[in-house]
A and B are shown apart, each in its own frame.
Chain A
Amino acid sequence: MDTDLARTWVQAIAAAVEKHKDHLTQLDSAIGDADHGVNMHRGFSATRMALADYKAETPGAVLVKTGSTLISSVGGASGPLYGGAFRAIGKALETPTTDTRQFAAALAAGLASVQKLGAAAPGDKTMIDAYAPALAAFQQQADAGADFAAAAVAAADAAEEGMRATTPMQARKGRASYLGARSIGHQDPGATSTALIFRALAETVGA
């Protein structure tokens, strides 16, 4: 990953969020407060603007800026969680280019940030349920010596599978947890946006 690729990735996420905004909000309306699409859209619109005239030397700088902008524009639970994750990913990417293994480590730092902040575990029906399998798949590919594009595709596939796997789960964190058993049967909005983020990565590096 290099600086341009990082920019392209964030642009691709912004485009995906814009496209799926209503879907995310709809999912959040079933088990949350109907704002996840709006929140993500506000955040990535702000990020697009913030990056437009931001000079970065490393992919890390782009992603730290992305995280900070999300923190300062999203609000809600997803703002600090995604914001913190992008900042952590970015901080782990200090060189102008990084290989697949380094990027895997950066993604791991991102997940650690989400877990530290939100204290959720896999199975709690959150973004972690898409993020954790995506990271595992990426790492596995990296360890097996696969290239970045292949690792990113594997991660995106795993994220989507994880996303779908949230449907039968009962939420234990975030707003959906108040539903108790009634949260079962609905796909988690945050896991869905996480899947968009990994799919955007795969499409960016594959293009």
Chain B
Amino acid sequence: MTSKIVQTTTTIILPFLLLFGVYVIIFGHISPGGGFQGGMILAGAAMLIALAYGFDKLPRFMSHLQSLEAGGVLLFIFVGSITVLVWLPFLADLHILPILNIIVGIKVFAGVALIYIFIARWELPHD
């Protein structure tokens, strides 16, 4: 269903896209960017993969995404509530910020990719 051009371009630019997304997440608290923006970039990369290589080979990938996303929320609620509950001065030296950034990045990546794939797969059999 997808043309050869799309597949070759995705194979070329995919590593740079993923690397850039991971960079934005991890260095979120130093350079401009952060969990949300990096997660979105990775979700874009996931959409690109889904577009280029078709949706039929995706069920296994989707179940991974689902568990990733549910785990992300639980982790965030656990770690987030620590920052929210405990008075902050104790936590600054624990470098809580990068950890939160990474958790948020994973969550946004898995969630947004899931939304896209779900809507795209739902459309397929009907038209």
A, B co-complexed? no
Binding site for B on A (CB under 8 A): none
